[in-house]
Amino acid sequence: MMGDWYVIANIPTFIEKGAHNAMESYRQDQDGTIATTFTFRANGFDGERKTYHPRGFVKDATGAVWGMRFVWPFKADYRIVHVAEDYGQIVIGRQARDYVWIMARTPTIPEADYQRLVTLIGTQGYDIRKIERVPQRW
């Protein structure tokens, strides 16, 4: 999970609406927490660069359930819903099924992979009509 991930599509949170070139980077620190850097351009490829630094806390033995703290002391529920066999694509969701993220190690993925992941997300109880592609141009 560590390293860089491009956000391919999501059901966006309020801060992500209009995001372009969205990317998350994860690094496990000595204390076991996950230092996260989330960056994107607001409302266009030339938009203002936004950067957030939430901290992740692995909450179960599988490593699939995290608490993600954006503002102390609150930790949002994040779950690794799917990991591709080649570790090139992941889906992160939430127990509430309100937000979801398709991410990849590359800024684009094949259309067949995208459609398969959207179908998977639908079977997990998410409203796929709310999924938006995140424009990526590097």
User: Does the pTM exceed 0.75?
Assistant: yes
Would you state the pLDDT for residue 61? 74
Would you state the pLDDT for residue 124? 96
The residues near 9 (Cβ < 8 Å, ≥ 6 apart) are 101, 102, 114, 118, 131, 132, 133, 134
Would you state the pLDDT for residue 128? 98
Could you state, in order of their start, the residue ranges of all structural domains in the chain?
3-133
Would you state the pLDDT for residue 74? 64
Residues of the chain short of pLDDT 70, as ranges, are 71-74
Would you state the pLDDT for residue 103? 98
Would you state the pLDDT for residue 68? 82
| CATH number of 3-133, picked from 3.30.300.20, 2.40.128.20, 3.20.20.60, 1.10.357.10 | 2.40.128.20
Would you state the pLDDT for residue 42? 98
Would you state the pLDDT for residue 60? 79
Q: Return the HEC string of 30-93.
A: CCCCEEEEEEEEECCCCCCEEEECCEEEECCCCCCEEEEEEECCEEEEEEEEEECCCCCEEEEE
Inter-residue contact 80 to 64 (CB < 8 Å): yes
Would you state the pLDDT for residue 72? 63
